[in-house]
């Protein structure tokens, strides 16, 4: 034991973040998918016991092994106590219960490969198509990433009650639908994987383009999305071009994360970012995954977005960015997904190629679309275009509209500062 640490709670929190999803996956295998709530209870109790005991006795030499053993013992006690009352128990449970086989079972189910496989199974469980997208994201954050209900609430600017309701509905749906704890195979894999990728991308986007003022939550959302994607691409049974393309996109965007804000957490546009702060190792990893994705002769949204992001990451300067090439990529993207947000992003790139006046003309095609009315980047991006086109009053009007959206105090402060800046030039 190593005792006397003043930051036991921080160490446990760090351990909680990194091991929670692994333990939940293993316990879900032990109890069966319908009892996923019981798996969560066991893991949380093990973490609480660690906090209580380590505070007085110090952190053990092998803290991960300690928590795994405590969780296993709690699982055995529950299975022994409730083996007749619980309808759903997996095939692993008898091995855990038997005093002759429990240690062998522990070694088998806690190997790195088994844990990775169980996490992959849990990813497909949490992202099952019978669940709504909101429920999929909330359940993924709770069970696989170890986020508290309050943290999920902060990430999505809702209430603890709403998140609780989503999770309760999700667990009930899983139980009623008797969703299996497995990775789909054959013809079922690709459509199910598509839904998983969409959910993880939603999770990542909330971190990267968060409406929350809490930068810690934003960073961790992105990190968790990348961790889940690594589990997927590292599994030999899944050879998905889309998965590698999405992981590449996430790595490119995360590589520029630190340069997007100054020391006061003010947003810095791509044009003014310090490119020496970009994480070149992440960019290199992203290029590797993108190259693998390109070998499969497939073109998807993820391929195009990752290639666009790669163009930004590899341009030596903002001025040397290949805007014509990026515009061509957006033209291809529009053919696949002609959504208002894709059109908005294309319009921003168009302004770099043909000027703000041409871009504003294109805005007329999408500016009344319902999905853009509450979308903050629409108002801020349009304001920039109108300002560049010397229509300053229109730009300020758009920013004032943006202030009425449900956004955090920090973002409101940034918009107010921009309004003051624009007003000086009227």
Domain containing 54: what range? 1-110
Q: What does the alpha-carbon distance between residue 123 and residue 117 come to, in Å, rounded to a whole number?
A: 10
Burial of 62 (0-12, 13-18, 19+ CB in 10 A): exposed
- The number of folded domains in the chain is 1
Q: Percent of the chain beyond pLDDT 90?
A: 45
**Gap between the Cα atoms of 256 and 279, Å rounded:** 7
Is 10 domain-assigned?
A: yes
* Residue from 181, 173, 21, 179 nearest 90 by CA: 181
The pTM is what?
0.84
Residue 209 covered by a domain: no
216-242 pLDDT, tens digit per residue, is 457 888 888 999 999 999 998 898 999
Q: Please give the pLDDT value at position 331.
A: 97
pLDDT of residue 157: 67
Residue 352: burial class (beta carbons within 10 Å; 0-12, 13-18, 19+): middle
pLDDT value at residue 96: 52
Residue 135 resides in a domain: no
Residue with tokens 């003043």: 6
- Cα separations in angstroms, 111 against 33, 50, 231, 342, 406: 20, 22, 15, 43, 45
Q: Is residue 70 part of a domain?
A: yes
pLDDT reported for residue 371: 86
Note the pLDDT of residue 216: 47
Residue 385 lies in a domain: no
In a domain, 310, yes or no: no
Walk along the chain (426 residues) in steps of 10 and give the mean pLDDT of each run. Answer: 57 77 86 85 88 85 84 78 52 50 55 82 93 90 87 80 92 90 89 92 82 62 90 91 97 92 76 93 97 90 97 96 97 94 95 96 91 90 95 95 85 88 87
Q: Quick one: pLDDT at residue 147?
A: 84
H-helix or E-strand containing 368? none
Closest CA to 106 of 41, 168, 23, 42: 23
8: in domain:
yes
Q: How far is CA 177 from CA 26, 60, 128, 185, 296, in A?
A: 21, 41, 10, 19, 35
- Domain presence at residue 216: no
């Amino acid at each position: 034991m190593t005792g006397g640490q003043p930051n036991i709670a921080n160490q446990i929190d760090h351990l909680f973040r990194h091991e929670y999803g692994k333990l939940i996956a293993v316990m879900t295998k032990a109890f069966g998918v319908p009892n996923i709530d019981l798996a969560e209870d066991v893991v949380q109790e093990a973490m609480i016991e660690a906090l209580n005991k380590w505070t007085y006795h110090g952190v053990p030499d092998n803290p991960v092994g300690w928590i795994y053993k405590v969780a296993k013992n709690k699982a055995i006690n529950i299975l022994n106590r409730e083996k007749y009352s619980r309808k759903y128990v997996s095939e692993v449970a008898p091995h855990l219960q038997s005093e002759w086989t429990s240690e062998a079972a522990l070694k088998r189910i806690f190997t790195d490969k088994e844990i990775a496989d169980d996490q992959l199974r849990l990813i497909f469980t949490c992202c099952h198509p019978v669940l709504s997208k909101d429920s999929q994201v909330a359940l993924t954050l709770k069970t696989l990433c170890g986020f508290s209900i309050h943290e999920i609430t902060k990430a999505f600017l809702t209430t603890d009650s709403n998140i609780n309701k989503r999770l309760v509905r999700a667990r009930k749906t899983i139980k009623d639908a008797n969703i299996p704890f497995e990775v789909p195979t054959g013809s079922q894999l690709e459509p199910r994987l598509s839904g998983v990728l969409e959910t993880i991308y939603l999770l990542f986007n909330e971190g990267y383009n968060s409406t929350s003022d809490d930068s810690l939550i934003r960073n961790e959302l992105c990190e968790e999305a990348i961790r889940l994607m690594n589990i997927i691409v590292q599994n030999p049974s899944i050879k998905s071009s889309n998965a590698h393309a999405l992981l590449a996109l996430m790595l490119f965007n995360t590589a520029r994360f630190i340069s997007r804000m100054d020391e006061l957490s003010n947003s810095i546009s791509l044009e003014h970012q310090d490119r020496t702060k970009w994480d070149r190792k992440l960019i290199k990893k992203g290029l590797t995954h993108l190259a693998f994705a390109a070998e499969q002769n497939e073109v998807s949204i993820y391929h195009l977005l990752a290639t666009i992001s790669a163009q930004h990451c590899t341009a030596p300067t903002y001025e040397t960015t290949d805007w014509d090439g990026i515009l061509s990529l957006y033209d291809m993207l529009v053919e696949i997904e002609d959504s208002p947000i894709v059109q908005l992003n294309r319009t921003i790139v168009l302004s770099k190629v043909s000027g703000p006046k041409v871009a504003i003309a294109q805005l007329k095609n999408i500016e009344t679309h319902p999905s853009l009315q509450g979308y903050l980047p629409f108002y801020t991006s349009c304001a920039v275009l109108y300002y560049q086109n010397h229509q300053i009053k229109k730009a300020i009007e758009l920013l004032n509209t943006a202030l009425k959206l449900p956004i955090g105090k920090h973002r409101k402060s940034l918009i107010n500062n921009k309004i003051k800046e624009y007003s000086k030039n009227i």
